[in-house]
Chains A and B, each alone.
Chain A
Amino acid sequence: MLLSKGIYSGIMLLEVLLVLGTLLIYFLFSKKKEETLPFKDGWWGRGQKPLTKEDSSIRPFKVETTEEELSDLFRRLDQARFTEPLENSCFHYGTNSVHLRKIVSYWKNQFNWKKQVEILNKYPQFKTKIQGLDIHFVHVKPPRLPEGRAAKPLLMVHGWPGSFYEFYKIIPLLTDPASHGLGDEHIFEVICPSIPGYGFSEAPHKKDFNSVSAASVFYELMLRLGFNEFYIQGGDWGWLICTNLAQIAPNHVKGLHLNMVSVSKLGLTHLLSVLLGQYFPGLFGFQDEDVRRMFPFLKKGLYRILSESGYAHIQATKPDTAGCGLNDSPVGLAAYILEKFSSWTDIEFQNLEDGGLERKFSLDDLLTNIMIYWVSGCIVSSMRFYKENLQKGIGTQKHEKLTVQVPTGIASFPNEILHIPQAWAKKKYTNIVSFHFMPRGGHFAAFEEPELLAKDILQFVDKVEKEQLWKKKGE
């Protein structure tokens, strides 16, 4: 009797151990891998890769314009065909054409492209060939460096429908913080490249140029410029490219700063936290501000994604169709791009007849960004980036399954399209050093709130440097 009981409990114990063992193995293998993302080499030029070595010189570059370019633009603006908006539609149907007419009038009569080109050229720009493409970048060194100090290299990556120009207001705050009341502990030299297919960077001639390709190209750029260790910052596509760069070269990236985060692996916890997070925030690691920004979830999450992602859907599937007319109609291009500068700065701007465009930006700034797309003819190639990144679906690619161990700083702006709480971000970014709720600002952080963003970057870098955090990363 006793013996059979003993055998019985023995079997039970074995069963328990087996279950525990399986669970343990499951957890060990299901944990996101900490391996690095492989560097993605490629050849994106026309035709076959030549046998000769690629020219790796860095050539100075200046933006130029011609009378012909201007008169062609004016003719198109003059002959633009508008469609009357529906009564009382504000910006609910997209860019309101009555307001668009006013902008076009300014564009024709007051906007001075020649003057703006001089502004663009105030920072030194260069081009260099990497993986078969001419890569454009801005490289600004500090105007003055105190004795014995070195500038910290900082790579800043733009997104869509932005450009390197978005950083023009924040650059001086980072290269010359002292003159702007931001102290002089950390002084940066800033590198702002244009993503291949955007602005003055050549567009890839081959398929499959995705964020990992861009990250690899920018990694080569930084190495070519002689930097062994550097900081990186980005939002929109810049968020993903910088994330990939941190995954490819964690030993070179001292710190990763983001003004936008997105998650692509959604699981049961996410679903539960969306359903219950409002009522039990603590349970899901939500702070009060998280709750304020995310709920009601249907309105701020699901419906917002649906109502704002039409452009991404068409660009991820038919970019050559979507961009075709926009490369031929500057007014169409402006309408398409300005709509984002309205809703992504503040979703409530849709309720305004003028889309709130000039509340945060000047028309000169907005039009200069648009002109970059127009004069370079890059709208179609800029849209292709969506297809190359999203065509296989969200959450399916290798880099989406890998984590980031590099020290990370996140500036979470209140009017960003979607709010991602730290509780969700830290599953991917395992080494979040700072996460701050910014008091105001939307998607185009550097453009709209350069000072707030600069301050957050500085405090992040300060933390990383003081605690020498980049040395503490695991191998």
Chain B
Amino acid sequence: MLLYWLRSGHKIKTIDMGDGWWGPGERPLKGKEDASIRPFKIETSDKEIEDLHQRLDRFRFTPHVEGAAFHYGFNSTYLRKVVAYWRNQFDWRKQVEVLNKYPHFHTTIEGIDIHFIHVKPSYVPHGRAVRPLLLVHGWPGSFYEFYKIIPLLTEPAKHGLNEGDVVFEVICPSIPGYGFSEAPHQKEFDSIATARIFHKLMNRLGFREYYIQGGDWGSRITTNMAQMLPQSVKGLHLNLVFIARQSLGRLICIMLGAYVPWLVGFTREDVRRFYPYMQKNVYDLLRESGYMHIQATKPDTAGCGLNDSPVGLAAYILEKFSTWTDKSFLRQDDGGLESKYSLDELLTNVMIYWVTSSIVPSMRYYKENFSKDPDLSAHNRVGVYVPTGIAAFPQEIAHVPRVWAKDVYKNIITYSYMPRGGHFAAFEEPKLLAQDIMQFVQKVEQL
């Protein structure tokens, strides 16, 4: 009896690495996989641009109800303005040059081509260490979200950031099925498979130990990476924490936390961000999770029209860049989009989904992850023991107090309440995020 109890209470220390094959058909029995790393440049053509313009020109618009703002989704009056800009001012060729300013590569892992950018500091001051840092994006983002933060991490001094002696070389892959990474041809490609592939990628690049950072799916993938091969992860930094919510203890915490926060380990800022509970955690989440529900159940249906209508794709994606940046943007007729981002940046991200036709595979990721594990909690039973840093942004969709994050992340080195910013931290507040990453890494280096 005692032995049974001991064994059932014993937590598994790591997730199994496992293996996988995601290419078409059967895995080849013979021959080693081509491990070459091939430079890659994004290209476009007149045909591609012409096709896009034709589709923009023949977009069929539906008037919204009076007073809709962004409460019914993307406001179609504002959408018309975005489309006009896209058609007449947005310069995709110029944006492709912008995208190509960092070196891109492809390498084949587990049967599929993995895309990544790899940026090394152009100049390393004497005596400074260069640490490898893997940044993982989410949905509906891409590697492009990191373009503003990369220079702050590879050349901090140049940008007035002097957090210690660390300088980074940054690797930003595209999750398979997103952007320029090939989409898996087999079912069940989840975050564990992604974590394993990214470990293999870092390995192939010659790294044994590295820092990893992520938000959205990136948070889950990097967490899995830390759970899978803790010895390779020097530090894990997150700007979003996924936590399973149910349990009686949690419920009591929630109920008491509003009145005696100190008793349950909530700080004043936790209380400010967390309550009113029903509104912020239940209603708001229900209101914002329709996309998740349909993508986790019928991704091929949900994405079909979006891969055929660039305007539909833009509305679907940009709605998130509005609401997940600041919930109050729902009340604005233009969704507050241009108050934090430029149309060029927003449309470049949308174009990555468009030119690669990756919207459907990107949605399938939800089904593959949620089908086996509806509340993404199984891996929460495996603790995360690597040094962890959490940047909690105030407009993130849901707030997770440190005291709850500790349930999974056993070794939290830093937990920062960021002064401003939402879900797309690297895109919206690159300097704040960079500073937090650097002060976290500095602490880890001193351990």
Contact = CB atoms under 8 A, between A and B. Distances in A.
Interface stretch (B64-72, B240-248, B392-400, B437-445): B64-72
Contacts of B94: none
A88 B75 CA distance: 38
Given A310-B298, A318-B72, A324-B315, A336 B65 contact: no
Secondary structure call for the B interface: helix
Given A328-B311, A329-B312, A311 B367 contact: no
B295 A328 contact: no
Secondary structure call for the A interface: helix
Interface of B: 24-25, 51, 54-55, 58-68, 72-76, 79, 184-187, 286-291, 293-309, 311-313, 315-316, 319, 357, 359-361, 364, 367
Contact of A86 (B64, B185, B291, B295): B185
A177 B65 CA distance: 43
A207 B66 contact: yes
Contacts of B287: 317
A320 B62 contact: yes
B283 to A, nearest CB: 9
Given A83-B360, A314-B290, A332-B306, A325 B62 contact: no
B357 A83 contact: yes
A115 B142 CA distance: 47
Contacts of B301: 93-95, 335-336, 339
B304 A336 contact: yes
A325 B306 contact: yes
A93 B301 CA distance: 7
B311 A325 contact: yes
A309 interface: yes
18 contacts: A79-B308, A81-B308, A83-B300, A83-B361, A86-B364, A87-B186, A97-B300, A318-B291, A320-B64, A320-B72, A324-B79, A328-B305, A331-B308, A332-B304, A333-B305, A335-B304, A339-B298, A381-B62
B304 A331 contact: yes
A82 B304 CA distance: 7
A96 B301 CA distance: 8
A95 B300 CA distance: 6
A384 B66 CA distance: 13
Interface in A151-208: 204-207
Interface residues of A, number: 59
Contacts of B289: 313
Contacts of B357: 81, 83
A31 to B, nearest CB: 29
B210 to A, nearest CB: 31
Nearest to B360: A83
Given A95-B304, A313-B289, A336-B301, 12 more contacts: A79-B55, A83-B303, A205-B65, A310-B293, A313-B293, A320-B68, A322-B316, A327-B312, A328-B55, A328-B309, A331-B308, A335-B301
A100 interface: yes
Interface in A74-110: 76, 79-89, 93-97, 100
A335 B363 CA distance: 15
A395 to B, nearest CB: 14
A317 B288 contact: yes
Contacts of A82: 304, 307
